[in-house]
Amino acid sequence: MTILMTPIANGNSHWRNDVLKDVLFGPAGYPPEARGNPKKVFEIIREAGLTALEYAAVRGLNTSEEKARLIGKYAAYNGITMSLHAAYYISLASTNMETRETSKQRLIKALKFAPWMGVKRIVFHAGTHGGLSDDESHSVIKNALQEVWEQAGYLGEGALLAPEIAGKIKAFGSVEELIRLCSELEGTIPTLDWAHLYARSQGEINDKDSYLKILQRFEDGLGSLFVKNMHFHISGIEYTKAGESKHQPLGSEWGPDILPLMEIVDEVGYKPTFISESTEPIRGALYAKYVLEELENSR
């Protein structure tokens, strides 16, 4: 059964409210005022009424096992669901073989650290196509991730690799590429970055119908794997003809408009984790939460 197209009857509104309690919101990265103080980080997030955090290892996972375990301890104590964004400079189809190998090792390290930190999703960009054709880059990236999973998937203790929609049009990470990759590989789920989709589509993915079409494609291609593991990035964004240019505040004059997306979540009963990559991540996460709460309260 296709969940996206299954209407929720008025008589099931109590069920829907229970589902919406499981929608998670949180920032990407530590609040600036608490950097270097994990205890305060999680206190700030909890006191703000948020329930998720994406640990930013975008310049490499440069922490010790002791600190990683401490992060996991504070996350669990404060009821915060953890994901991790791996290094930006991962490039699995690079023309440089050493870069390919280093990229795989970064993901293996993330899987090793995941249970210590309570991380359930390891978000990453696969990189460029490396001058290869679409089919060739798919094969190279798929084989690299298969090697990572076979070597270290068990280390993550349930953590999944979550390749992300790319903001640059020429980068690996289109809707089609992620569906194909995740449908063929164990241990992978897609990260839908709605700002990146907005930039890749040159502003076209910005209303209820376009959001629905994207969600339907992922659900058709990945089924319950996708529905049960929805991980979304949200932000305002600037873009050029090449795609993503600069992240901006969520809910300002910059697109995409997240109201139609929240309407879908409210109506269907999806349970995604929303990670705000806005220039003010906590404010963005709170804005998204407010929009969904207002929809729920208006019924």
Question: What is the spatial distance between Cα 178 and Cα 163, in angstroms, rounded to a whole number?
Answer: 7
How deeply is 160 buried, as exposed, middle or buried, from its count of CB atoms within 10 A (0-12, 13-18, 19+)?
buried
Nearest Cα to 181, choosing from 144, 152, 151, 209?
Answer: 144
pLDDT at 7 over 60: no
pLDDT at 153 over 90: yes
Q: What is the mean pLDDT of residues 16-22?
A: 58
Q: What is the pLDDT of residue 132?
A: 96
Single pTM value for the model: 0.92
- Show the domains of the chain with their CATH numbers: 3-297 (3.20.20.150)
Question: What is the spatial distance between Cα 16 and Cα 22, in angstroms, rounded to a whole number?
Answer: 10
Question: What is the spatial distance between Cα 261 and Cα 258, in angstroms, rounded to a whole number?
Answer: 5
Q: In the block, which residue shows the tokens 């339907």? A: 216
Distances in Å between the alpha carbon of 66 and those of 36, 41, 71, 225? Answer: 14, 17, 9, 33
Average model confidence (pLDDT) across the chain: 92
- The two beta strands, 52-56 and 160-163, are unpaired
Q: Provide the pLDDT confidence category of residue 20 given band limits of 50, 70 and 90.
A: low
Q: What is the pLDDT of residue 252?
A: 79
**Exposed e or buried b for every residue in 124-142, given b needs 16+ CB within 10 A?**
bbbbbbbebeeeebbebbb
Q: Provide the pLDDT confidence category of residue 14 given band limits of 50, 70 and 90.
A: very low
Q: What is the pLDDT of residue 165?
A: 98
Question: What is the spatial distance between Cα 190 and Cα 181, in angstroms, rounded to a whole number?
Answer: 9
pLDDT at 131 over 70: yes
Q: What is the mean pLDDT of residues 68-83?
A: 98
**Exposed e or buried b for every residue in 49-68, given b needs 16+ CB within 10 A?**
ebbbbbbbbbeebebeeeeb
Q: What is the mean pLDDT of residues 146-168?
A: 98
pLDDT at 118 over 70: yes
Q: What is the mean pLDDT of residues 28-43?
A: 93
Taking only the tens place, the pLDDT of each residue in 253-293 is 899 999 999 999 999 999 999 999 999 999 999 999 999 99
Q: What's the distance, Cα to Cα, between the start and end of the chain in Å?
A: 26
Q: What is the mean pLDDT of residues 178-199?
A: 98
Nearest Cα to 81, choosing from 72, 92, 91, 90?
Answer: 72
Nearest Cα to 285, choosing from 254, 260, 262?
Answer: 262
